[in-house]
Amino acid sequence: MSTLSVAPDPVAWRVDAAPIPYPEALAEMDRRAAAIRAGSEPELVWLLEHPPLYTAGTSARPADLAADPGLPVFDAGRGGQFTYHGPGQRIAYVLLDLKRRGGDVRGFVRSLEGWAIAALADCGVVGERREGRVGIWVDRGPYPPDGRREDKIAAIGVRIRHWVTFHGLSINVDCDLSHYAGIVPCGISDARYGVTSLAALGRAERLPALDDALRRHFAASFPEPG
């Protein structure tokens, strides 16, 4: 079951309760992006989950995938490397007309980051950017002898075609973190850097609470052109 609503701005919101197969999601993004470009349908934020699977971005390295990963692997067509998707993880596919919004690709990625950080703050988690490491990170304290342990809680991967954005971000709420053992997440193998979730951090928030936070902060993160 899914719901589709139109907010006061031109962006529609779709929320799916049941996990969506990855090929189906890719096909729907392709269809919707073409409609956005043609002006026949509004921009879209699509909140969903996938069944357990891995996706490979355009920079994925075969060595970063286990010999027997145990889950299906799909080419995503987005930037980035390998990542995991599964139940208990909120995926936010953001399909916007970037040309209408000024054509700033880097600015769009910064907006995705800021949006995730603001939503996580509403859930009691301090998420931060890190230079040279894509995604949103949580400081977990000292890492001997003189470093810091940091875990990724949100992954970001985008694609832009004819100035329409695809894909977006994923935030770990209460997913099975053991599945990350089948890949080197986003190509980062340094032992100081792991993966976490709201549940692993002791936060009781569930998907609806995060969805509410994402809705609250969307307009400020992606303002309409003046």
Please spell the DSSP secondary structure of 78-144, one letter per residue.
Answer: SSS-EEEE-TTEEEEEEE-BTTTTT--HHHHHHHHHHHHHHHHHHTT---EEETTEEEEEEEEEEET
Active-site hit among 186, 195, 198, 210: 186
Annotation says 123 is catalytic: no
- Beta strands 164-172 and 147-161 are antiparallel
Structure-block tokens of residue 42: 């509004």
Going from the C-alpha of 137 to that of each of 113, 166, 170, 218, 225, the distances in angstroms are 10, 22, 13, 20, 30
Q: What is the dihedral of CA 49, 180, 117, 103, to 10 degrees?
A: -70
**If we measure between CA atoms, which residue out of 153, 157, 156 comes closest to residue 195?**
153
- Beta strands 133-143 and 147-161 are antiparallel
Radius of gyration of the chain (CA): 17
Active-site residue list: 186
